[in-house]
Structure 1
């Protein structure tokens, strides 16, 4: 089972985050998905995850790639350590394009049920990346 749920998370990272595939997103997200990493007071359902990738990251980062460094599965949860990389070619949360290469380190935990994302928790270095782009 651990290989099955890890493959769901790998597919999400490549097809959804890296490639922006909306059909894969719909197939991999449970309708009642909860993003526990959403900012307080912000939406935390499936639409919040899609918005993060399609209105924040993908328009600002060209040549976007996701590299998975480690995955650990236990029960119905997968912990992944990964890096999202690319070139900063568009506005990123108020920071105008710099043309610089950027890397956002991420550690997230996803609960997978029935081959779909049910819950997500995560930490990332986006704020540190933004601070370095402003400097």
Structure 2
């Protein structure tokens, strides 16, 4: 596919996440997507991605993602982003703290036929833990298995 098609899919994904329209996630992700950096306990494939975002947006309903920069090629989209949110719902066994966080992260997505087939990513877990005043290593966006 072209970088223009991949950029359009990335934009569609942003709209899906913003609208919390989980039934449309297959527009951006392959059913059998490989997440190389899953959250602890995350199921494989598209369902694992959907489950993660449902839990995350329940815990942080005001979450926003701002990509800067976004690098697009014919095969990959790399997004360096700032993510912000307020902890108002349970997350990974933690009751809401009412505190907000703002951290940076990166995601690299491999596109096949205009949808994400593989994903790698990292978010500043320590920054989230500190800002929410959770214990060290309590929040995990990547499985430590």
TM-score by length of 1: 0.84
Alignment size in residue pairs: 133
Structure-2 change in CA distance of 1:40 and 1:21 (3 Å): closer
Aligned counterparts, 1:42-81, within 5 A:
42-55=42-55, 57-81=56-80
Unmatched segments (≥5 aa) in structure 2: 135-145
Question: Secondary structure in 2 aligned to 1:86?
Answer: strand
Structure 1 residues 32-72: Cα deviation after superposition (integer angstroms, max 9, x where no partner) = 211111157753311111111102x1111022222111111
Moved over 6 A (4+): none
Compute the displacement of 1:122 (Å).
0.5
Q: Is the 8 A contact 2:39 2:52 kept in 1?
A: no
Question: Secondary structure in 1 aligned to 2:97?
Answer: coil
Question: Secondary structure in 1 aligned to 2:90?
Answer: coil
1:7 corresponding residue in structure 2: 8
Aligned counterparts, 1:1-135, within 5 A:
1-16=2-17, 18-39=18-39, 42-55=42-55, 57-134=56-133
Unmatched segments (≥5 aa) in structure 1: none
CA–CA distance in 2 between the matches of 1:93 and 1:41?
10
CA–CA distance in 2 between the matches of 1:41 and 1:67?
26
TM-score by length of 2: 0.79
Compute the displacement of 1:77 (Å).
0.6
Compute the displacement of 1:25 (Å).
0.3
Question: Secondary structure in 2 aligned to 1:66?
Answer: strand
Richer in strand (by share) = 1
